Amino acid sequence: MADPGSLSGAGRLALLGREPGDIEPFSALLQDATLRLADIGFDRKARRLVCLVNRYRREADALSLGPSRIRCALRIETVDAVQRTGWPADPEAVTAILSLAQDGDRLVIICAAGIAIRARIEVIDLVLEDIGEPWGTARVPSHE
């Protein structure tokens, strides 16, 4: 594991998505992020859905900085309604994000264990922003 001082070498991500083609890179960056269900908020008046996740930093791997995660905010704007499926009873439950996809007028955050969040949107308006400093991790996602 790299020393914490070297982990910030990849920099922080700050991305804006406004086109259907932007969803795929957002999905790739969010894959394997851990999400505590209590860290999801929907502001109906502002029409905003926010998820705070611990994003696995694949870009740090590519730069040989060692495995690390960083706190990251996914903000989805112009949200009219939110539905959830497969929701566990424990609000402190943690899941892993598998992908982000568009299904008609909905953005769907697909998570492990059959959990999904569907946000009905007017237009695609996404923000993905790293916050805080990265930390080393021994848990490296594996897709075999």
**DSSP per residue over 9-68, as a string?**
GG---EEEE-SGGGHHHHHHHHTT-EEEEEEEEEETTTTEEEEEEEEE-HHHHHTT--SE
Q: What is the pLDDT of residue 9?
A: 56
**4 pLDDT above the threshold of 50:** no
Count of CB atoms situated within 10 Å of the CB of 117: 25
Helix (H, G, I), strand (E, B) or coil at 92: coil
Count of domains forming the chain:
1
Domain membership flag for residue 87: yes
Domain membership flag for residue 18: yes
**133 pLDDT above the threshold of 60:** yes
Domain membership flag for residue 144: no
Domain membership flag for residue 142: no
Domain membership flag for residue 99: yes
- Average pLDDT, integer, range 80-108: 96
Q: Show the domain range for 121.
A: 14-133
Domain membership flag for residue 80: yes
Q: What is the pLDDT of residue 91?
A: 84
Domain membership flag for residue 6: no
What's the mean pLDDT when you consider all of the chain? 90
Domain membership flag for residue 92: yes
